[in-house]
Structures are given as C-alpha cells and as structure tokens.
Amino acid sequence: MTGVTHSEGESARVTRILREEIIGGARGPGSRLVEREIAAALGVSRVPVREALRVLLAEGLVSPRPNSWMTVRQFSERDIEELFEMRAAIDSLAFALAARNASASELARLALALSDESKSAANGDAAASRAGSAAFHEIVIEISGNSLLAEIWRTLSGRMRWLLGQHDHPIEMHEEHARLYAALASHDEEAAAALALAHLETSRRAFERHLALEPEDSVQG
C-alpha cells in the first residue's frame, strides 16, 4: 500500500510540473515529451511519467504520436475559437451565479486573490500575474455554487488556463478583474455577466496581439 501511495504522489507531482511547464510556455507547442528524458530530469521512474502524460492527454494539453512519444499540443485556429466559445458560455454564467451566491467569506477570498494578482502585475511579474488571473477565474467557478459547471470547468481547466495565459498585458487584465469583483460584491448579476463577456473580448484581443509576436508554428491553422 505504501508503494502505491508513493507512486500516486509521484504521478501527481510529475503531472503538476509538466502541466505548469506547458501552460507557462517552458515546453512549447510541438515539443517532444519523451518518457525516459522526463524521468531522468525529474528523478523518477518512467511509470509516473507515463501516468502523468495520460492525464495531460485527457486534459487536452498533449497529443499522441503513433508508436512514438507524445508532444505538447499545437492548438489550431478552430481549437482556439472553440475555447473562446466555451469561455463565453462558462464565464457569463459563472460570474452571474457568483454575483447571486457569493458569501462575505468567499468575496474576501476572491479579494485576496485579486490583491495578489495586483502586486504581481505592478511588479512586472507576468508569469505570476497570469497565474493569479487563472486563480481568480477558478475561484469564481467555485463560488458560483453550480457543481455541474465546476465539473465542466475541471474537464477544460488545463486548456482554459493555457488560453488565459496567452497575453502580455497583466495590468489591463487586473483592472478588468477589479471591475468584475465590484459587480460580484454588489451582487449585480446582470453587470457581472456583461462585464465577463466584455472581459472575454479584451482577452481575445490580447491573445491576438500575443500570437502576432509568436513564431508562426506555435499555433497551427
């Protein structure tokens, strides 16, 4: 039993490390994910690496190659459009429900996340700010109070976090999060939903600007 627990812990750790490297861009689209190389780099056997890659495949962050290694997924233009379509549906509902249901303690938790994001943005720490932005959205999903919505989000969370991280304007994103927080704190469902959709359009424009600076093969058409 101890061995199983240890293996499960190693698998979770490897999954977390690889997920963060993919979302953060340390492993770019199309990069090879060779089990033996990852195992050697992380000081583990190939078993937890194999398990981690299966999890990331289910999350949509890696792609299999027949009789070979996996690679970091290259998102097509259609993939990205579908992610934005899902975000429009999820975000507008999540923010409206959060405005309706958020308790004082949940709003305090969200305010703390917003403060952390603000500090990162002000310090020019883009990676930490992007992580803070993703955390803000994840907390809103939690406090929406809709378990089915949370289940759908968990299925898409890796891809959504990747999408949320594709921008280079942390202060702009933080300012919009602050306006969203104000709508939640005043329990204004209509404003929260409208601001969520406006925020999505800002994210889309930021993504397009970010993409314009990336190598042509980062996203496949």
Taking only the tens of pLDDT, the chain with its 221 residues reads 334 344 459 999 999 999 999 988 899 999 999 999 999 999 999 999 999 999 999 999 999 988 778 999 999 999 999 999 999 999 999 999 999 999 999 999 999 999 999 898 888 887 888 888 889 999 999 999 999 999 999 999 999 888 877 776 778 888 999 999 999 999 999 999 999 999 999 988 888 887 765 554 444 43
Other Cβ atoms closer than 10 A to 186 = 11
- 140 plus 42 within the same structural domain: no
- 87 plus 185 within the same structural domain: yes
- 10 plus 81 within the same structural domain: no
CATH number, domain of 148, equals 1.20.120.530
- 38 plus 124 within the same structural domain: no
The pLDDT assigned to 66 comes to: 80
- 188 plus 89 within the same structural domain: yes
The pLDDT assigned to 8 comes to: 59
Q: Contact, 162 vs 73, CB < 8 A?
A: no
Q: H or E segment at 153? A: helix 147-164
- 111 plus 46 within the same structural domain: no
- 62 plus 168 within the same structural domain: no
| Residue-range definition of the domain harbouring residue 53 | 2-72
The pLDDT assigned to 215 comes to: 52
Number of domains observed in the structure of the chain: 2
User: Which of 72, 89, 122 finishes a domain?
Assistant: 72
- 59 plus 111 within the same structural domain: no
Tell me the C-alpha to C-alpha distance, in Å, between residue 24 and each of 50, 88, 137, 194: 21, 23, 17, 29
What phi and psi values does residue 63 have, to the nearest 5 degrees? -125, 140
